[in-house]
Amino acid sequence: MPKKFLIKLIFVSCSTLFCKSLTTQGQGSFNAYFGNLHSHTSNSDGSGEPADAYNYARYTAGLDFLAVTDHLEQIVNIPLIDPEWSDCQNAANNATMNGTFVGIAGWEWGSPLHGHVNVFNTADIIDDAGNLWYTTNLPGFYNWVLNHSPAFAQFNHPGEETYFTNWNSFAYVSTTLDNAFPLIEFQSVEQAENFYELSLNNGWHLSPVWNQDNHSADWGTKNDCRAGIWATTLSRPSLFEAILAGRTFATMDKNASIWIDLNSIAMGGQTTIQSAVPLHIKLSDSNPESWISIEIVTSNGLMMDLGAHTGNLDTTFTIDPTGANWIFVRALQADSNYLWSAPVYITGTATSAKEACRYSGIQIFPNPATTILTLMAGDGQHLAEIYDLCGRLQYSEIFRKNTTIDLRNLPAGVYLIKLYTDGETIVKKVVINQDR
């Protein structure tokens, strides 16, 4: 049976005023900065020049930062002949004005088998890019990043192509490599649902960002989604420090931010607990919009949903996630925009990462759904139940291996699906869209 958690509300305060800065006990003061860590120019398969991208992001889109990350196999650095990489670095430096805007030069490594990765904080590029691209040499690429410290990397849009192995299903390699790969990128809710928890359960310490992956001259205006970074100042060193510390968030709303700390440890950090501790959640939106659900998610599944809330939220309450390896918060706005916090990692618990990912192969898709929901749970007999956010049972079915659920009789909205399998309970959120 699933673990029971102690939940005790001790303090709640709300405000309709948006504040970009946040002070957390014992963690200092951080500001929320919004930008994009994945974009392209005509140096590879995009539009415009790097200088155009940085200027557009700053003056038109109003971003705090932009990373230009053209495809490695399409950029070279031969001075006076093909200086694409040098031009990008120079443009990033020229565009940077601390306190106002930060330009970042990076590049995107791609494997036709494993997937794509952005690399930052290095002056170098891989000389044999063509060889790595065509030979799918993932270990060779990992070693290159490790050998070029302080370079760090971001897993890009997992599951975007069916032929990607998603880096061998996010197979964990080593602590050293884990430290050099602090970020996971979302470009869809499905990517977040299917791969965020999987990567954490496999042992990676990854913090989420949402990027636009621009291939047109719309750097920052392609959509309202943003990579959020909680940093002390708007400067490249401060942003990089925050990324490596895990203080990032993914938001589909350009004005909204999310913060959590557990036991006074900021998201991205680690804490050891053996009993109930305070969890602090802060949700801000300058509009501000209403929240449909505010979910606390652990390696043991959905711990609780704070439910609906009007306006901004700043609340602290006591929880007991003993036995979990990590905890993060996922919030849903009334306009169907999501925000994901980075995790706080819990050490010294009884549950191992390997045990926690026992059922990571279970698939529930599509999500968001319209008329049909598919469940793939493997061999054996399983029970699926769908509940609304008031806890009312809306659907129940016993099935083997796979099943499809007709959703046409359910109103659009947010639901919880509980899957009982092999003596365990898995809880996932499902969104049923209005577009039918």
Instruction: Give percent of the chain with pLDDT exceeding 70.
Output: 87
Higher pLDDT, 431 or 255: 255
Using the predicted structure, report yes or no on whether residue 349 has a pLDDT greater than 80: no
Q: Tally Cβ neighbours within 10 Å of residue 365.
A: 14
Residue that the structure tokens 């990765």 belong to: 117
Domain ranges across the chain? 7-356, 363-432
φ, ψ for residue 372, nearest 5 deg: -130, 135
CB of 417 closer than 8 Å to CB of 427: yes
Section 410-428 average pLDDT: 78
Using the predicted structure, report yes or no on whether residue 414 has a pLDDT greater than 90: no
**CA–CA dist 170, 5 (Å, integer):** 29
**CA–CA dist 348, 346 (Å, integer):** 7
pLDDT score at 423: 61
Q: Which amino acid is at 163?
A: Y
22-31, 257-266, 343-352, 385-394: least confident range: 22-31
Which parts of 82-159 are beta strand (E)? 102-111, 115-120, 152-156
pLDDT score at 161: 86
Residue 278 tokens read as 């305070």
CB of 54 closer than 8 Å to CB of 91: yes
Using the predicted structure, report yes or no on whether residue 409 has a pLDDT greater than 50: yes
User: Does domain 7-356 bear CATH number 2.40.50.140?
Assistant: no
Radius of gyration, alpha carbons of the chain = 22
CA atoms within 13 A on the CB side of 417: 24
Instruction: Give percent of the chain with pLDDT exceeding 90.
Output: 63
pLDDT score at 355: 33
**CA–CA dist 297, 177 (Å, integer):** 25
Using the predicted structure, report yes or no on whether residue 358 has a pLDDT greater than 80: no
- At 388-408, the pLDDT tens digits run 766 788 999 988 888 889 999
Section 71-96 average pLDDT: 88
Higher pLDDT, 329 or 423: 329
**CA–CA dist 59, 367 (Å, integer):** 35
- At 293-335, the pLDDT tens digits run 999 999 988 999 999 999 999 999 999 998 899 999 999 999 9
Section 370-392 average pLDDT: 82
3.40.50.2000, 2.60.40.3080, 1.10.150.120, 3.40.47.10: CATH of 363-432: 2.60.40.3080
pLDDT score at 80: 63
Using the predicted structure, report yes or no on whether residue 26 has a pLDDT greater than 60: no
**With 0-12 CB in 10 A as exposed, 13-18 as middle and 19+ as buried, what is 173?**
middle
φ, ψ for residue 51, nearest 5 deg: -60, -40
- At 156-191, the pLDDT tens digits run 999 988 889 999 999 999 988 999 999 999 999 999
Residue 424 tokens read as 């365990």
